[in-house]
């Protein structure tokens, strides 16, 4: 007997998702206790049982067959035409198609194939294999979790004389290793017997470093080569550039010559995105940025002097202390200086003076960190003095966003590689601040006290989950942030972009307003200068008139005196027989006359209205 069951459901009803509904509980079976069953058992007292504190683990193995995959391509070329038909001629092909369509075999084949095609189309319309069952449900926002961070590991400097951890670099493959540069930045205050070694740590073994790097001078900056994880680049305290190959051991593989190296400590080194993977550049407080090829470190391939006056004088150069290079902008690079100025440069400029494009000034001290936003490269972060600032290349006069002025000095900062609105800063009081300006702009979203001494450097892993912080005593702390800080939020890119654009527009409006005010003040100052000049010219005219009057009256009085003297001589010649007593009396009378005339002259000078025209 054949068992047959007819399905009454439609084909489209099979495989649908489950729809759950709320309903009251129902009692299906109720089994009351039976006291008679207790007589079949004997109570065991006392009972000995073993207890295992650790969880019991089980191991299962599954062996699956490996499937070899093979890729094949299909190239379809129009064909099947008879020899007497040219497929390039439209008239011949139309004539042949009409001839074939009239053939009975063609009509029968089309009707048979049409049924199969109809069945396939109906089947596709009945079931949507790409249907998302639960796409209507709202996704849970990750930001509901409070931001937090926890310490994963601590790597301490194994040397007895402690040094500062000045720079960190993650291993490019898997980030399971961390290179730490150790040095003492106090000028001529390094204690005797201080080691120059730097280390590469394995994240799972904090007890001892995996590799020891032995430079000739303390290393300030250390960078992994992104194309070759065995090669590291270091900038030394004496200005030299060192290169290590971990396959060859702890000693330096390549070292630049002292004559062609920097004159001050090298504070920044960055690998360039090149075909060979051997090009890099460095910056120092001697005011020079140098390009190198590690295959030939005897001398730099190019040198740019950070003289913003564009005179290329090393005496006027600004000391470089931080570098920024974005692979998507291969010709541009940025330099943070000791004077608080960011210098934007173009490497491919024709002349050395044109390589310095523009400057951004806003910090009161050295710029210790400079980094472009990984999602929006035209916006970049600077850390210096007591603030962290976000800039836009379109607004050069001032930053578009900045943090409040902290009580402690800021030492380093970096963007999150996975979230465009999150960045991290370290301070001299040992605090790590996590900023999320979409969530909060005035205060950090998370402030964590990492250690008691000052934090000098930080570096974020590529996945954004782990942060390494180096301290003044050489302690490197590895932190793991919560999932909300390392997971891209919904619409975060659009929100961050709108915030950047809004703040850039605001700064542009303010800059235009300031320019107008400066022009008005300049116009007012020019008007005041003109008025002062007019007053000075008026004063000068009065002085000239008075001087001319004095000279005029002096000439007149001198002429009058001459005439009187001549008259006196004539009178003396006419009266020669006068007695001496009379002569003396006459002289006295003339003196009295002269005195009276002098008084008249004073009165005339005091009253200019009575002066003769």
Q: What is the DSSP string of 576-596?
A: TT--HHHHHHHHHHHHHHHHH
Task: Give the chain's count of helices (H) and strands (E).
Answer: 4, 28
Query: What pLDDT score does 581 carry?
Result: 45
Give the residue among 314, 313, 311 at the shortest CA–CA distance from 286: 314
CA distances from 258 to 171, 219, 534 (A): 29, 15, 64
Cis peptide before 46 (omega within 30 of 0): yes
Instruction: Label each residue of 559-574 as H, E or C.
Output: HHHHHHHHHHHHHHHH
Burial class (CB in 10 A: 0-12, 13-18, 19+), 409: middle
> Higher confidence at residue 118 or residue 575?
118
| Count of C-beta atoms within a 10 Å radius of residue 242 | 25
Give residue 93's pLDDT band: very low, low, confident or very high (50, 70, 90). confident
Question: 136-144 — which CB contacts under 8 Å span 24+ positions?
Answer: 139/490, 141/489, 141/490, 142/483, 142/484, 142/487, 142/489, 143/439, 143/484, 143/489, 144/484
442: tokens are: 């005035």
Q: How far apart (Å, rounded) are the C-alpha atoms in residues 490 and 500?
A: 17
- Does the pLDDT value for residue 251 go beyond 80? yes
Q: Where do the DSSP E strands lie in 43-188?
A: 149-155, 164-170, 177-183
Kindly report, residue by residue over 111-128, the tens digit of the pLDDT.
Answer: 899 999 999 888 888 877
For residue 532, what is the enclosing H or E element?
helix 492-574
Task: Name 577's Cβ contacts closer than 8 Å, sequence gap at least 6.
Answer: none
> Higher confidence at residue 547 or residue 612?
547
Task: Name 464's Cβ contacts closer than 8 Å, sequence gap at least 6.
Answer: 416, 417, 418, 419, 481, 485, 486
- Does the pLDDT value for residue 557 go beyond 60? yes
**End-to-end C-alpha distance for the chain, whole angstroms:** 155
Give residue 521's pLDDT band: very low, low, confident or very high (50, 70, 90). confident
> Higher confidence at residue 344 or residue 16?
344
Kindly report, residue by residue over 274-314, the tens digit of the pLDDT.
Answer: 888 888 989 999 888 998 888 888 888 888 888 888 777 88
Judge whether 468 and 151 are in contact, CB under 8 Å: no
Query: What pLDDT score does 380 carry?
Result: 92
User: Edge-to-edge strand order for the sheet containing 164-170?
Assistant: 164-170, 177-183, 198-202, 211-213
Query: What pLDDT score does 135 carry?
Result: 63
Query: What pLDDT score does 427 carry?
Result: 92
Give the residue among 400, 480, 403 at the shortest CA–CA distance from 436: 403
Query: What pLDDT score does 136 carry?
Result: 58
- Across the strands, what pairs with 449? 431
Q: How far apart (Å, rounded) are the C-alpha atoms in residues 108 and 534?
A: 110
Kindly report, residue by residue over 31-83, the tens digit of the pLDDT.
Answer: 999 988 888 888 888 888 888 788 778 888 877 776 776 767 777 777 778 88
Query: What pLDDT score does 385 carry?
Result: 87
Give residue 1's pLDDT band: very low, low, confident or very high (50, 70, 90). low
Q: Average pLDDT in the 213-219 region?
A: 90
- Does the pLDDT value for residue 531 go beyond 80? no
pLDDT, the chain, mean: 83
Query: What pLDDT score does 477 carry?
Result: 93
Query: What pLDDT score does 607 carry?
Result: 42
Give residue 600's pLDDT band: very low, low, confident or very high (50, 70, 90). very low
In the block, residue with structure tokens 């003769």: 612
Kindly report, residue by residue over 365-395, the tens digit of the pLDDT.
Answer: 899 999 999 999 899 999 988 999 998 988 8
Q: Average pLDDT in the 201-219 region?
A: 88
Kindly report, residue by residue over 448-504, the tens digit of the pLDDT.
Answer: 998 989 999 999 998 888 999 999 999 999 999 988 888 888 888 888 888 988 988
In percent, how much of the chain has pLDDT > 90? 21
Tell me the range of 8-12, 449-453, 596-600 where mean pLDDT is highest.
Answer: 449-453
Query: What pLDDT score does 398 carry?
Result: 85
Q: Average pLDDT in the 540-552 region?
A: 81
234: tokens are: 């270091």
């Amino acid at each position: 007997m054949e068992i047959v069951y007819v399905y009454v459901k439609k084909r489209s009803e099979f495989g649908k998702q489950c729809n759950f509904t709320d309903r009251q509980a129902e009692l299906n079976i109720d089994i009351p206790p039976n006291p008679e069953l207790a007589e079949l058992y004997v109570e065991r007292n006392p009972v000995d049982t073993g207890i295992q504190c650790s969880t019991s683990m089980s191991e299962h193995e599954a062996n699956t067959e490996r499937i070899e995959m093979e890729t094949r391509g299909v190239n379809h070329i129009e064909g099947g035409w008879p020899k007497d038909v040219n497929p390039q001629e439209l008239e011949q092909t139309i004539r042949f198609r009409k001839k074939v369509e009239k053939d009975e075999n063609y009509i029968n084949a089309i009707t048979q194939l049409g049924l199969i095609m109809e069945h396939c189309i109906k089947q596709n319309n009945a079931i949507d294999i790409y249907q998302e069952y639960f796409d209507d449900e709202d996704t849970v926002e990750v930001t509901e979790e409070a931001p937090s961070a926890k310490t994963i590991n601590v790597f301490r400097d194994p040397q007895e004389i402690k040094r500062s951890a000045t720079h960190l670099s993650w291993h490019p493959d898997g980030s399971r290793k961390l290179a730490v540069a150790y040095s003492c930045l106090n000028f001529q205050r390094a204690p005797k017997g201080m080691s120059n070694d730097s280390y590469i740590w394995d994240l799972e073994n904090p007890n001892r470093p995996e590799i020891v790097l032995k430079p000739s001078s303390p290393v300030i900056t250390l960078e992994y080569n992104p194309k070759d994880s065995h090669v590291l680049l270091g900038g030394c305290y004496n200005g030299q550039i060192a290169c290590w190959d971990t396959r060859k051991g702890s000693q330096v593989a390549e070292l630049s010559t002292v004559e062609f190296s920097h004159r001050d400590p090298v504070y920044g080194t960055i690998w360039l995105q090149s075909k060979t993977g051997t090009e890099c550049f460095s910056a120092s407080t001697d005011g020079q940025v140098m390009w190198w090829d590690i295959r030939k470190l005897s001398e730099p391939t190019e040198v740019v002097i950070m003289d913003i006056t564009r005179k290329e004088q090393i005496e006027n150069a600004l000391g470089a202390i931080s570098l920024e290079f974005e692979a998507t902008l291969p010709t541009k690079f940025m330099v943070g200086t000791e004077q608080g100025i960011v210098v934007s440069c173009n490497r491919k400029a024709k002349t050395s003076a044109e390589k310095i494009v523009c400057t951004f000034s806003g910090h009161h001290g050295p710029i210790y960190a400079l980094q472009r936003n990984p999602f929006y490269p035209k916006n970049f972060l600077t850390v210096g003095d007591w603030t962290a600032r976000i800039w836009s290349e379109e607004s050069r006069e001032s930053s578009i966003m900045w943090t409040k002025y902290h009580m402690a000095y800021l030492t380093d900062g970096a963007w999150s590689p996975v979230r465009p609105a999150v960045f991290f800063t370290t301070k001299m009081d040992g605090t790590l601040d996590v900023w999320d300006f979409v969530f909060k702009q005035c205060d950090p979203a998370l402030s964590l006290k990492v250690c008691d001494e000052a934090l000098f450097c930080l570096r974020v892993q590529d996945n954004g989950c782990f942060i390494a912080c180096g301290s003044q005593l050489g302690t490197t702390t590895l932190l793991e942030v919560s999932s909300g800080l390392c997971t891209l939020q919904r619409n975060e890119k659009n929100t961050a972009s709108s915030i950047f654009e809004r703040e850039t527009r605001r700064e542009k409006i303010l800059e235009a307003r300031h320019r107008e005010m400066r022009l008005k003040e300049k116009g007012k100052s020019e008007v005041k200068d003109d008025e002062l000049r007019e007053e000075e010219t008026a004063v000068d005219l009065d002085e000239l008139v008075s001087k001319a009057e004095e000279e005029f009256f002096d000439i007149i009085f001198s002429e009058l005196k001459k005439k009187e003297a001549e008259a006196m001589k004539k009178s003396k010649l006419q009266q020669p027989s006068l007695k001496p007593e009379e002569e003396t009396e006459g002289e006295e009378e003339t003196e009295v006359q002269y005195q009276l005339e002098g008084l008249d002259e004073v009165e005339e000078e005091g009253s200019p209205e009575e002066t003769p025209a």
